[in-house]
Amino acid sequence: MFKKLFQVILFLQIVVFGVYGQTSKSTNYAIIKPATNLTAIVNTAANVTPSARQLRWQELELTAFFHIGMNTFTGREWGDGKEDPKLFNPTALDTRQWVRTVKAAGFKQVIITAKHHDGFCLWPSKYTEHSVKNSPRKNGQGDVVKEVADACREYKIGFGIYLSPWDRNSPLYGSGTAYNDYFVNQLTELLTQYGRVDEVWFDGANGEGSNGKKQVYDFDRWYKVIRKLQPSAVIAIMGPDVRWVGTETGYGRETEWSVVPANNLDQLTITAKSQHDITFKPKGDMRGDDLGGRDKIKTATGLIWYPAEADVSIRPGWFFHAAENDKVKSPEKLMDIYYNSVGKNCVLLLNIPPDKEGLLNASDVNALQGWKKLRDETFKINLLKDASVECNNGVNLKSILDDDYNTWFTTHNKDTSAVITLNLKGSKTFDVLLLQENIAIGQRVEKFELDYWDGNDWKKATEGTTIGYKRLLRFSPVTANKVRLTIESSRLNPTIATMGLYKQP
């Protein structure tokens, strides 16, 4: 009776105050005072949480990129801005086919390349003649951005825009303020004419313009425009909300912390930019093997929630080239990328470029469908379903199996380790482990191990470091009727929202 009462009180503490020491006022950054010891820094890191826009973005898991423009018709990857707008003439362009196809494949958001480096605009911008308004498509009356936005609303999927800061067509590029004004004008068009925008995607391309000069980008100004006009949009990957994972392979890190050092984050920065809506972006190299481990944060003066996006194209190039129709990534390759991106605490941004007709090519569509089938077959049945759960220092044990991300297992008192034993209903064969932390509470687990009972002893099936929003691990097939998950190390109390065992087809 006393034990049950204690658990009820403990549960109420978690709901009302957060998990042990985290107040209801959570933020996606923290300032570290001078001389703070490592233990205190680690505890602070455990309480840094995603903003609402970052959490929504992480839950997407899969976002589709649509690269279409001048390069589609010239066969290039980077245009020089001298192309004739009359080249752009996709005679069967159907954005509903694009969005319908990727939604059926499990994607929850798309991003359209509204303007690539050649400066050609897929919408009729009033600030340049280098746009669809001077193309033969629909006699210059078309607006591809609008058609994508409309299709996203129809199919209830997120809508994002890519706008290249590098513009090889504009004579203003390299002029300083005048080009930044031009860029803000185009950005404002995109953020005010197409309804809700969920993501704005900038890359770091910064070559020479038509005048032979490079431009100094006013990112801070651009961020403020986005926050004002589309406050729910995440800004990636040259932005404050989402960072680039560091390669264009679609593969993430074995150890992927969403909380990273921000050594130019200080109280004056916060005060100047408002505590409620900071547009701060960490500086420095974000491509190491481990960006947020204890050795990386021990000298931090600030910490910030800055999750990773892994991007890759389904083809060798980012734009459609007919010669690559037989080089589309196979369902099996896409599955491997999935395990190494979404399964490593990243969101996967997969590019599927429309062809010259303006359709997703059959080669790409078939690959997407085969990949979706593999995912469905793999994750159809959680072999832990109906298992009994035991843990001497655990709270809310069954929540790791209830299919509800908003409930979670945690530990008593200030325990940062736990052994969770699960008794399956008979012997099961499995080779995939799925784990999720409730990142709304924070990312905390630093090391874990999965063991199985072979009838005589415990044997290791797999192990890992970070979990984050989702961790997927494959291993040699195991048959057992009992497993245990050992949380060896955690920053404050672990919060395990989901656990699953699956068998690959």
pLDDT tens digits, one per residue of 421-473:
999 989 999 999 999 999 999 999 999 999 999 999 999 999 999 999 999 99
Beta strand 308-313 with 243-244 is parallel
| Whether 108 and 190 share a structural domain | yes
| Whether 127 and 197 share a structural domain | yes
- On whether residue 407 sits in a domain, the answer given is yes
| Whether 361 and 443 share a structural domain | no
Beta strand 158-163 with 109-115 is parallel
Distance CA 224, CA 140 (A): 32
Q: Supply the pLDDT for residue 388.
A: 96
What is the per-residue pLDDT across 296-350, written as a single tens digit (0 to 9) for each? 999 999 999 999 999 999 999 999 999 999 999 999 999 999 999 999 999 999 9
283-304 burial: b if 16+ Cβ within 10 Å, else e: eeebeeebbbbeeebeebebbb
Q: Supply the pLDDT for residue 281.
A: 64
Distance CA 241, CA 470 (A): 18
- On whether residue 244 sits in a domain, the answer given is yes
Q: Supply the pLDDT for residue 237.
A: 87
Whether 31 contacts 504, CB under 8 Å? no
Q: Supply the pLDDT for residue 277.
A: 55
- On whether residue 289 sits in a domain, the answer given is no
Q: Cβ of 110: how many Cβ atoms within 10 Å?
A: 28
| Whether 357 and 478 share a structural domain | no
| Whether 369 and 479 share a structural domain | no
Q: Supply the pLDDT for residue 450.
A: 98
| Whether 462 and 344 share a structural domain | no
Q: What domain count does the chain have?
A: 2
| Whether 88 and 141 share a structural domain | yes
Question: What's the CATH code of the domain at 105?
Answer: 3.20.20.80
- On whether residue 296 sits in a domain, the answer given is no
Q: Is the dihedral of CA 499, 502, 504, 505 positive or negative?
A: negative
Below-70 pLDDT ranges, the chain: 1-26, 264-281, 283-287
| Whether 356 and 446 share a structural domain | no
Whether 159 contacts 198, CB under 8 Å? yes
- On whether residue 135 sits in a domain, the answer given is yes
Residue ranges making up the domain that contains 107: 52-258+307-379
| Whether 370 and 400 share a structural domain | no
Q: Supply the pLDDT for residue 15.
A: 32
Q: Which two three-digit tokens encode residue 454?
A: 């072979």
Q: Please tell me the pTM assigned to this model.
A: 0.92
At residue 380, what is the residue type? K
| Whether 358 and 414 share a structural domain | no
| Whether 452 and 372 share a structural domain | no
What is the per-residue pLDDT across 248-285, written as a single tens digit (0 to 9) for each? 999 999 999 999 998 766 555 554 544 445 556 676 66
